[in-house]
Amino acid sequence: MRVGLREAVFSANCFAAAMLALYVSFALGLERPFWAMATVYITSQPLSGAVRSKAVFRLLGTLVGASAAVVMVPLLVDAPLLLSLALAGWVAACQFVSLLDRTPRSYLFMLAGYTAALVGFPTVGHPETIFDVAVLRAQEIGIGVTCAALVHAAIWPRSVTALLGTRVRTLLAEAERWVADALAPAPMERADQERRRLAADVTELHVMATHVPFDTAAARPTRALLSALQDRFVLLLPLVSAVEDRLRAIAAEGEVPAEVAALVDDIRGWAIDADAYDPASLVARADALAAALTPADWRELLIANLLDRLRELVEALDSARLVAAQAIDPGAAPPERVRALLSERRRRPLHRDLPLALLSAVATFAAILACCGFWIMTAWPEGAVAAMIAAVVCCFFATIDDPVPAQRGFLIWTVASLPLVALYLFALLPLVHSFETLALLLAPALLVPGVLMALPRWYGRMMPLLIGLAGGLALTNSFTADAAGFFNGSVAQLAGVAAAMVATRLCRSLGAGAALRRLRRAGWRELAELAARPGGAPLPAWRSRMLDRVGLLGARVGDLEQGDRDAGMAALRELRVGVNLAQLAPANEVADHSLAALRADVAAHYRARARGEVAAPDAALLARLDAAIATALAQVPAPRDRLAALTGLRRNFFPAAGGLDHARAAA
């Protein structure tokens, strides 16, 4: 709730941009200048780069949506039901695509959806004006986004690149602190909290990276560089968790060998201070200790597995530091190792929930169609307003697990705007005799909410207040104050929000616990596929989706019961399971049928988990693992990578199991 100079300047910028947009629209003689004013507030963000990206996406989405309305309305205006179905279907389809995108670019699809409703529904009574209204809408939106982008970029701009550099430093410090805590002799209580924060921050970094191409900074990191940085942190999460687990398992069966303990302590010191050791020497020490081992029992397998994970951890943290330094100082020439990472970098895919996106689209379709049905049956003059608002409100909050509380807040703050609108319409605006007077009268009503809008906690409250104010005033070149029209329009707005709430509640509301279970089931289905078809799906893409789910789970941890929190953090263990499965080389399975049988059992287990049939692996899977480990140990030389993967799977599936049971393996 702290309001400072930054928030005051943001509000002043919004007001200046809104008045500039209003003045330009009046000067050009446009029919709906209030569209431009409202657009400024909808587009404005505290980050100047975010404003520009949102402005570009909003303008493109408006053009697409307006074009769709121009096509649909003249063709179907004589069939109101078909037109309602077409417009509702368009909005729902665009919302479906926007929910699958999950980047700021999704704003384009959302705008393309509800812009068609904003342009199409008001013109059904005069379809001959559809092209003019579409062009007018595009002009007003263009003026609004241009004014917002120019003012926010010119007056104390807040660079995305500068903030990104700060976030990268923070993220790297979090990763280094977590590595050091995980390698500490005694377990740290804060380790779980650090792990959750890091997982959520990696996904936040991905979202921020979308704004970078639109930033005002002269030197900006590339999207490929930021994606490579995300990948480095993707690797760290399962590696640190695996190292932590192996250290606990080895300590439970006896002392950690002195040479290994010394290596762990040195890696911990290097994580705290990057100049303390040469990472290449740490990797060489881990390889030398591993080469000297000839695993013959479970304890030695754990030690060999720990050394492999330590080597990978050092390489991953060292790469993360190099890429982070390049992201913080994008103007510097990248070292050869960073260039190699960039050359192999691919697009980072995120988790997509198709059924939930479909349910959201169904809710939007139902809300719009319900408003249209009431409009058609009653011939209510303001029915178009209800259908438009239903489309907007459904789209605005579709990304939330349970949109209804946010929609209820939108309804409350829309109601709160109505007395203010009435005061201006019937008492203050009749006194206006010049643009300067208008700006002076609007200043208190816009500047105070603008300051609060800069605060994340108040953004969702002030936005409907400002949208309701701008839409209710409906400032045009010819001012009229119609009490009946104001009342009907207000009722229509509230009816549209109510329709959105009812449809959303019936079709797709779910709490944080339900969202967690959906995320985990999606992960289980992919693990089953990964086990059944080795090499069928690229590991980096799978790992990226799994990490994204971990981040999504971490963002919901504060809203979960303790049991759900524990289940949510178990997703890290499942992330390691997938990495272990990918390490089992399929080339030797013709000679070793135990691996194929093991994969089949793992796939069956995760398919059953996805169906809700089982919660824990059965003893048969443990026997399969012991048999596969025994087979690998009998080979000369022993396949090191396969043993490491099998050891990891056994620890992840059966952390409480003791040493190898040779009788069980033989059976």
Please give the average per-residue pLDDT across 472-497, as a whole number. 87
Q: Within 13 Å of residue 404, how many CA atoms lie on the same side as its CB?
A: 15
User: What does the DSSP assignment read for 566-622?
Assistant: HHHHTHHHHHHHHHHHHHS-GGGTTT-HHHHHHHHHHHHHHHHHHTTS-SS--HHHH
Nearest residue to 420 via CA among 390, 464, 455, 484: 464
Nearest residue to 584 via CA among 601, 565, 606, 563: 601
User: Measured between alpha carbons, how far is 465 from 457 in angstroms, rounded to an integer?
Assistant: 14
pLDDT in tens, 267-307: 999 999 998 899 999 999 999 998 888 887 888 888 988 99
> Which stretch, 143-157, 290-304, 423-437, has highest mean pLDDT?
423-437
Mean pLDDT of the chain: 82
pLDDT in tens, 220-238: 666 667 777 777 777 787 7
Is the pLDDT at 586 greater than 60? The verdict is no
Question: Residue 583 corresponds to which tokens in the numbers above?
Answer: 């390490």
User: Measured between alpha carbons, how far is 88 from 399 in angstroms, rounded to an integer?
Assistant: 19
pLDDT in tens, 353-371: 888 899 999 999 999 999 9
Q: What is the end-to-end Cα distance of the chain in Å, rounded?
A: 65
What predicted TM-score, i.e. pTM, was given to this entire model?
Answer: 0.77
Treating both helix axes as pointing N-terminal to C-terminal, what angle do 48-76 and 160-182 enclose, rounded to 10 degrees? 110
User: Measured between alpha carbons, how far is 23 from 147 in angstroms, rounded to an integer?
Assistant: 11
Sequence letter at residue 188: M
Residues 6+ apart with CB under 8 A from 386: 371, 374, 375, 380, 492, 493, 495, 496, 499
User: Measured between alpha carbons, how far is 29 from 32 in angstroms, rounded to an integer?
Assistant: 9
Distances (CA, A) of 303 to 182, 412, 632: 17, 60, 16
User: What does the DSSP assignment read for 59-85?
Assistant: HHHHHHHHHHHHHHHHHHTT-HHHHHH
Per the listing, tokens 């596969």 go with: 628
User: Measured between alpha carbons, how far is 125 from 233 in angstroms, rounded to an integer?
Assistant: 56
Q: Is 59 in contact with 142 (CB distance < 8 Å)?
A: yes
Question: Binning pLDDT at 50, 70 and 90, where does residue 381 land?
Answer: confident
Question: Residue 66 corresponds to which tokens in the numbers above?
Answer: 């307006």
Question: Residue 543 corresponds to which tokens in the numbers above?
Answer: 């790992």
Residues 6+ apart with CB under 8 A from 558: none
